[in-house]
Structure 1
Amino acid sequence: MAKPVRSVAGPLHLSHLSEPVLRRLSELLDRAAPGKGWRDLAQRAGSRGRVRLSPLDLEQCSLKVLEPKGSPSWSLLKLLGERGCTVVELVEFLQALEHTEALQCLSYPGIEVVVHPDSQAVLSGQVVKLCCWAVGHPFVHYQWFKQEKEVPHGKAPELVLNPVTIHDSGFYICRVNRDSSFAFSRWARLDVCDLQSTPDGNLMASPENKLRICVQPRPQTLTVGDALVLECGAAGNPVPHYQWFRNGFPLENGDKNVYMVTSVDEEHQGTYWCHASNEQEGRDSQKIEVVVGRKAVAVECTEGDLSDLQAADLQEESDHRPVATDKVALLIGNMSYRHHPQLKAPMVDVYELTNLLRQLDFKVVSLLDLTESEMRNAVSEFLLLLDKGVYGLLYYAGHGYENYGNSFMVPIDAPNPYRSANCLCVQNILRRMQEKETGLNVFLLDMCRKRNEYDDTVLVLDALKVTANIVFGYATCQGAEAFEIEQSGLANGIFMKFLKDRLLEDKKITVLLDEVAEDMGRCHLTEGKQALEIRSSLSEKRALTDPIQQTLASAGSLARNLQWAKAHELPESKCLEFRCGVQVQLGFAAEFSNVMVIYTRLVQKPPEIAACRAYITDFALDLDVDPKETNKGTPEETGSYLLLKDLPKHCLYTRLSSLQKLKEHLIFTVCLHYEYSGIEEMMDERKEVNVGKPLVAKLGLHHRFKANSCLQSCCTADSPCLNQRETSSVTNKHCALSPCQPASCPGVCHPHPSCSDSIRRPEACSCNGSSKILPSRQEAQNYSPPVDVSNVPVETTDDTAELEFLLSDHFRLSQRQQL
């Protein structure tokens, strides 16, 4: 084996390779299999504009076989070296040919990381640099990870976070790879303290490495059984360690920056503080008091005592308005059903409700056209946003039905006919929300509630908790249908048409819905067909306009902000400069959390170019983009009617929907066609653009839904019929899934009726010729949840050794699958 080529400063040209290396490469290329020989290499090299190879050049290389020791490959490599081809370019050509043996001549047998990133504890707003360097550059590739997630644009030896935010906290690692070889750096922990959470305004002026307490614990008054959560944050290098104290004694398991007791007793009362230290110095946080008292005991009282209590409650209610610790909303609109009638209104309904809720300080995730597994994963992500005292709102517009008091939302891939196993049960979602101890649970269901004659399944659900924080707003009564109304080419659901006019009013949510119901009752279009039904267990005067009073820098708040921000990160605008001097601007706008509009605009054109046009193409197959619907002159032509006032004029527009299906980074090509003055030949240039995973694509909703998520609507959460449903296949496109066998699902009956569809349609109505009632939402590809292996599936943990083992083990598996 020839001596491998080592890294040097600057690009290494082929002409500088040693003769033994060239000889070995020539031998491998001369006797290579079809598709990996010297002619294939010449074709790859010739496709580069800088390295031009004429037919005469290839003929001269080919004639070398007539010489006693002649080699076409040797001649080609010499020719490439004379024309400026570098070793890096040759490596890229050989990688494209998948010529592993030839690549080994140009690389190290192994990879060694010589510079590892350091753990840091910093203040938000600073510039943070994490560095990794491996022997073998420039023949190695770098990829940074935060926990199991790839860091967008983290493909350089140095990862720069400028400015760093509290959302950047976590564990980082760098993977260095070349072909099937790879190595990992050590894990680096990045702790970011929010400067806004500290009253000390001089922290930023302190020396960068000096130890500083930037998050102070806060005093608390609790009752027996409550949870105690104390948090302390420090910045400084080296990374500080923590130790909590109570009444002067160190606490067991108190070596983290957050100290928690899930259920306190009177013995937990006392004076607490945290000591932060590193190898250079140590500091104490403020000392705070934790008071623990006994819970009130229910006693018998007279009618007079009760009147006094009610009067006191009314006085307290007037003095203390309810508050939310946060407000989050999940909005789902299903329109493009594969086996059922299409709907029009959910797109406009979800868009308008999103804008209204954001005015009320709700964190909103809005999604269109979800399959069953995507809906279940979206609900799971929504549940992660909930916590004690949070206001949670779920809005659904699409096909649905109600059986035995349970409401079911129908995904777009539900078979015909569908049953509960293919749909999401709303009551099951409510039970999961209650487990989060939310302050208010609001369900707005804009769907039909007629009985599904094909589904006689009796669900076995866990009992709901007795709480006074649940509000259901049904767009129609039980056993009735919900309708859409079309005006000026756009459609609204009847429910949303009246709800949007009152949603911002500062009124108790049930009072507000009562007034919406009265408004709907005065609409002659749906008289006798649709009426709003309200179900509530609300005993407090809670409204969607209630203010938010967060626990400052609480772990739950940080998690909600991070999760919400993940689903709303748009790519940054880019300006691409082509060799001919033309500059093209790329812009991005979000229509929904899973719908993005890309617009392109020419910002500079040299005078010698008579005409040019830039368009985008080559999208991932996951998105199923129709090329005929891209690069349109107006947003309306792409199907985007809602962003007209927000998008710049005189651009080409492309609307990308279903971003939740994106498995890898969004990569596309910008093609530039241009023509010089006086020359009829059309020239073209191409640039590949990688914008990472925009919007909701970061949440991985395309993954197969996990059975242990307890969102299954059929039977109980741990029922054997769940696994059977996931592994079965649909053979008859006209029927729903095969019913569960009684032995696997005792006590649940699944009859198998015929597949004839006899659902009746209501009569169409009109109003002065300007609006019309569209088909109802009673009716909505076969069920087949997508299967995907996560790139690097690692759970977040403080155990960096476990993180490194899991990450390395998965990458080895991925490499074996690729080979």
Structure 2
Amino acid sequence: MYKFDEDMSIDCVPGVVYKQLIDELSKDYCWNKLAEHVAKRLGFTESIWIKSLENNGLNNVKRLPAENLLDQLNMRMCTVGILCNLLEECNLLRALSVFHQPEPLIITEQPNCDEADVNIALGEYFKLRCQAIGLPPPSYVWYHENLPLENQNSEEINLFIDNIEREGGYKCLIAQYDLDGLTLDKKFTNTVYLKVKPTRVLIKLQPLPFVEVEKDNVLELICNAESHPEPKYQWFRDNTKLEGQTFNILRIEGFQAKHEGKYYCQITNDISEIYSNKSIVVIDLPREKAVAKIALLIANEDYDHHEKLKTPKNDVAKLAELLEQIGFQVISLMNLTVNQMKNAMKLFCSVLSDGVYGLFYFAGHGFKMQESYMLAVDAPMSFLRSDAICESELLAMVLPTDPALLVVILDTCQTVPPKESNPDIHKELPTVNEYRSRKNLRNLIQAYSTSSHRPSYERANTDYGLYVTHLCKYITRDIPVQKIFEETGKSIDIWFKGKERNQIPMFALTITKPFRLTDAIYAGKFFHN
């Protein structure tokens, strides 16, 4: 129902009402929308018509385009009724409400009227829509948990759900305001509850793989994970649950030797369970220093009477490069006869002395008969022990020099020569090599690429042997020397498949100090023998 006679001409509209109409048409270029519609109805050229409305009137008096438009409509005998029809056709309802009696606010469409709960995964969009009618036309403000959402002022929202804080109730406040801004009516829609679907636990920050803690100090390990619902944490040491350690940060005051071990965290939520990487935690003992660090590396691969090998040369080259990075002086030799091997060992012994770290590595054919043997390249097809170098022979030469640390690595098979091809070696009386040091037999590590009576493999189409491939992951790390071989064994156990699992690395040690291959060398010291 109109407030004025439909046949009233526009210039007869009361001044106050006329000003309200001008104000409404001037907002958001509403006059332009009405002008375009009129141009189409009258067959005018739209651009020329719009431009003419933007020009000032007579005597260059500044006028609003909306005023010019109403003047043009008035000259064309436009009545209030016709103008109201034009405004309704353009959906300019606030301008229409200048002439029209208020109509009650009615919500015609509730958001998600079929369901009150919506389940959405993280990374998806959440869409809601509502609609209402009434004059003046309704305005919309969407709410989340009774707080208005910024820039959500239309009939529809489309939110990207990027975190669980988006959960909760959503509703829309639909309000009706008169032309003076006074509230005529307002109503809330139904509430729709958004629930974020559960997500699996994802570890974002793993605990450090190796941690040293000074005695009586505090141990802190951190493991951060994300999931919905919030993840729950439980720490373990050596597979034993630690009571009270149920946060993402494990904290132990007054660290002692009894606290050393392998720590890891179990993280769970309603739909998943995951375990962090293990962290080896030890007491930080005083660091050792070396007078010098010397390595002898031998690669035997071009055998005269036995199968040629493919990787020893590359293995030695790779190890030499890594050992030099951590301060070792490296002697690398290749394809040695039995006499050459003995001479090389004598040279090695000549540069070892008290306080020196020594490392010996051999890659080539080998065998096991009570002791481990390294086969020289000139060994005959049916060989004896005398055609090889026994590990105890090496130790008998080296240990009397009393190096601070000696690491012996044999990357060979540890199988027994078959009686069919080597009958004489089974009748041979072995030579006994006694070895001792002046300071007792301490700080010796003996590492083997495989265990007694087991083979050691080369893999086709690879540049390095299986053992060195994994040893190189750890040999330059700043960890106790025994941890190098412990972690190498674990790595091999994880990666070896099929027949390669017959190769089981092992090591033995008599370590009494916290030696590391990365230990510093005494500044300004020069060793000689």
Same fold at TM > 0.5? no
* TM-score of the superposed pair, with normalisation by structure 1: 0.28
* TM-score of the superposed pair, with normalisation by structure 2: 0.43
Query: Which of the pair has more CA radius of gyration?
Result: 2
Higher share of residues assigned strand: 2
